[in-house]
Amino acid sequence: MPYKINIDDRTIEADIVKRKPLLRVLIGERQHTVTEARCPGSGDFEITIDGKIYSGWRYASSEDVYMRINGRTFIISAPRGPGELADDGSAKNEVRADMPGTVVSVECKDGDEVKSGQQLMTIESMKLQVGLVAPRDGVIEKVHFAANTPFDGGATLISLVPLEDGEE
């Protein structure tokens, strides 16, 4: 059974092809062999994929896994089904924090027009900095937290003006 995962706002299919003697994983059109995975410390990991060793750090929240590999941060999550989104589409009108942290920088202000994928804010949580991007084209209704301000998990960080019918 293939799994659909979100990585940096892209949905990718992944499937386990074989478990023994070596783990074979199909990601998109390519098969990869995982020969070793170690987790020496809390959050640290080392994994060998197709003979290349990758090491990094990970944090799992209730919905997402944040991974830092070679200076780049990836956010991996299972796609949310229709039952997990608000019926009114409000989920696309808010950028929320998955975990508590602090705002490092804000790259937008109230009233700014933004494009889908545009960086809005950088946050830090558990020593991991993550760039938050616009979930869709729109206008910033409100930036709820300034730089160097702590926030709780689940907090709304930025609100977008809802799109009119037919604009989305």
The structural domains of the chain, with segments of one domain joined by +, span 3-77, 92-160
pLDDT at residue 86, as a whole number: 39
- The predicted-structure confidence for 101-157, as pLDDT tens digits, reads as follows 899 999 999 999 998 888 899 998 877 888 888 888 899 999 999 999 999 888 899
Q: Tell me if the pTM is above 0.75.
A: no
Query: Can you spell out the DSSP letters for 112-165?
Result: -EE-TT-EEEEEEETTEEEEEE-SSSEEEEEE---TT-EE-TT-EEEEEPPPPT
- The predicted-structure confidence for 39-80, as pLDDT tens digits, reads as follows 776 778 888 999 999 888 887 766 677 788 887 877 776 555
pLDDT at residue 84, as a whole number: 41
The CATH number assigned to the domain with range 92-160 reads 2.40.50.100
